[in-house]
Structure 1
Amino acid sequence: MKLNCDMGENYGNWNLGSDEAVMPYVDMANIACGFHASDPLTMDRTVKLAKQYQVTVGAHPGYPDLVGFGRRAMAIENNELRSIIQYQVGALAAICRANQVELSYVKPHGALYHAMMQQPETMATIMDAVKEMELNLALMIQADSQYQAHQAQADARQLPLIFEAFADRCYQDNGSLLGRDQNGAQLDEQQMLEQAHRLMNKQQVITHSQQILAVKAETLCVHGDNPAAINGIAKLAALLRPPL
């Protein structure tokens, strides 16, 4: 099971995350595209860093919300949303080409990600936006109880999907993530390692109410936006990549 991490979220003089420390431990880098975080120079630096460590690059587009870091819901019509996605992905694709790096997938960020998972029309719009770019990109979405319906939507468009689970976030019984504003939403290091181990070996998690929830995923998402998280990511990488 591969590790993916949100990266390239610096913006001008504002620094967020520890990309240089985290990149050696992950397999897939979700690189911010300028609307919720990042800027052209940060995007370029992050692509170069991913290339150095042979990490697969994905686009991480979000709502146009730098002030709210893309975590606030926005009412956007489908045509505008399609353009927002394609604008951001296209920018990162150009930087990837300039660095001779392949752009492999798209993973929406924050509130846009949650809207995609909760609203079938938003999911369809994002799928169409990615497919229309004709860049042979996959779409990364959350592995939830509706995965068969999501797969059918994608198959109709001949769009590859990558299903992900979250190593460091607590789940609700319905398969969605516990809101960040709620107690216990972010798992500590030991809880994260235990959840990752269960996902790898049993394809399940223990929810906030202590129920067993089946989760079939190909990749685990982690967040490296604080020093303590980096140590946990290193341990998680060791768990996923045991020595031969």
Structure 2
Amino acid sequence: MPTIDINCDMGESFGNWTMGNDEAVMPYITSANIAGGFHAGDPHVMRETVELAAEHDVGIGIHPGFPDKMGFGRRTIDATPEEVRDYVVYQLGALTAFAQRHGVTVEHVKPHGAMYSMLSESPDHARAVMDGMLEVDEELVYLATDMHIYEVAQEVDGVTAVFEGYVDLDYRADRSLIVEQQLEDRDPELVADRFVSIATDGVVEAANGEEIDVPADSICIHGDNPNAVEILEAIHDRLEDHDIKLASLPDVVNSS
């Protein structure tokens, strides 16, 4: 029976600005990547998101980004490996405090936006972040968004990494993602087909029609997708028919 995690970026609202539909999405996922206050989020939103995750028994992880709320963490900052590590440790520490307050633990780390892109392009930055993560908690799981980062994780002693796939974005033939500036409605049945394909066979169809390998044990669904709930409902409707079990990241790691 395939075992897979469904993760979603959450807690990205701040002040009077709202992003995503966390309350409606949370019941359908197994891991929440919670913004740490740099690219999005604030202390109150972090607390509320941890409370919501705990209520639904959803695993929590930090979704750290660059200090760039104006650009939603999608603008590159010229930071050294040590500085990027500090950004991640700082945000991880904040989320850990809220988690302790609610009797839960932080389970994983998944960098956001331009920070993720930097780690993908620079093994030195990626290793620095992983070293910082291990200093905080050796049990943390690194959620690797692409194969470059995943391969670096295999070389860092003590790091447990899970490779992540996407079903509500299109892939190019080289396994890179086609990221839209503005997410639009996706056909829930098509997205559910992709989910089953990755969960059971580790493959998905690229935009050019070519079948590519995506050996993912976690699938990301974008909570700010306009019809995210309908997509998640369609995915859940397929689970029993295909003997797919949902589990949070630590359980996925232990089952592999």
User: Is the TM value for this pair above 0.5?
Assistant: yes
**Greater relative CO, 1 or 2 (CA 8 Å, sep 6+):** 2
Aligned equivalents of 2:142, 2:237: Cα separation in 1:
27
Contact 2:51 2:102 in 1 (8 A): yes
Residue 71 and residue 58 in structure 1: after superposition, are their counterparts in 2 closer, same or farther (change >3 A)? same
1:15-30 to 2 correspondences below 5 Å: 15-30=18-33
1:49 aligns with 2:52: yes
Aligned equivalents of 1:51, 1:100: Cα separation in 2:
8
- Which letter maps to 1:240? L
Aligned to 1:238: 237
Aligned to 1:229: 228
Contact 2:196 2:242 in 1 (8 A): no
Aligned to 1:74: 77
Aligned equivalents of 2:187, 2:75: Cα separation in 1:
25
Give the deviation of 1:131 after TM superposition. Answer: 1.1
Give the deviation of 1:212 after TM superposition. Answer: 1.4
Aligned equivalents of 1:69, 1:94: Cα separation in 2:
24
RMSD of Structure 2 on Structure 1 (CA): 2.3
Aligned to 2:158: 158
Aligned equivalents of 1:164, 1:186: Cα separation in 2:
22
| TM-score normalised per structure 1 | 0.90
Deviation track 1:127-156 (CA, whole Å, cap 9, x = no partner) reads 112112135211110253774x334323xx
Contact 1:170 1:185 in 2 (8 A): no
Structure 2 unaligned spans of 5+: 244-256
Task: Count the aligned residue pairs.
Answer: 240
1:168 aligns with 2:168: yes
Give the deviation of 1:200 after TM superposition. Answer: 1.5
Residue 150 and residue 239 in structure 1: after superposition, are their counterparts in 2 closer, same or farther (change >3 A)? farther
Contact 1:145 1:175 in 2 (8 A): no
Residue 158 and residue 164 in structure 1: after superposition, are their counterparts in 2 closer, same or farther (change >3 A)? same
Segments of 4+ in structure 1 off by > 3 A?
Answer: 184-188, 240-244
Aligned equivalents of 1:146, 1:160: Cα separation in 2:
12
Structure 1 unaligned spans of 5+: none
